[in-house]
Amino acid sequence: MAEVTIYHNPRCSKSRQTLALLAESGVAANVVEYLKTPPDAKALDELLHKLGLEPRELMRTKEDEYAALGLAAVTDRAQLLQAMVEHPILIERPIVVKGSQARLGRPPEQVLALL
């Protein structure tokens, strides 16, 4: 069985619910607190590929940093990736990865498709 990783923010209720759902399903996930250890641009790009999303689709557009950085006007993919690397609070969470697939835990039950 492939290892399961969760990009987790312990302050986020959906992230906590998703982690609990994994535990209830008997999955011992590798927990990455991405605010403490953010993914680099390459890792973030790989996550996006596994999710089938573009950078803006994984961004928390209601965060203050999004507006402060003027990201609504940015169309360059590399710039959006770099903004998420430098300001990981902009990354939507939780993200659960298993092998070549990933799911966003919104709602948490979406990650069950990976198990």
For range 22-37, the mean pLDDT: 95
Distances (CA, A) of 26 to 22, 29, 73: 6, 9, 43
DSSP state of 53: -
**Cβ neighbours, 10 Å, residue 50:** 16
- For residues 54 and 38, is the Cβ–Cβ distance under 8 A? no
What's the pTM value of the predicted model, to 2 decimals? 0.94
Eight-class DSSP state of 100: T
Share of the chain above pLDDT 70, in %: 99
pLDDT score at 1: 55
For residue 70, the model assigns a pLDDT of 97
Whether the CB-CB separation of 50 and 25 falls below 8 Å is answered with no
Q: Residues 33-54: what's their mean pLDDT?
A: 97
Q: What are the backbone angles phi and psi of residue 50, rounded to the nearest 5°?
A: -65, -35
pLDDT in tens, 67-99: 999 999 999 999 999 999 999 999 999 999 999
Q: What is the pLDDT of residue 2?
A: 74
> Which of 3, 6, 12, 84 does the annotation list as catalytic?
12
Check pLDDT > 70 for residue 6: yes
CATH T-level assignment (fold) for domain 1-34+93-115: Glutaredoxin (3.40.30)
Domain boundaries, the chain: 1-34+93-115, 39-89
* Residue 80 annotated in active site: no
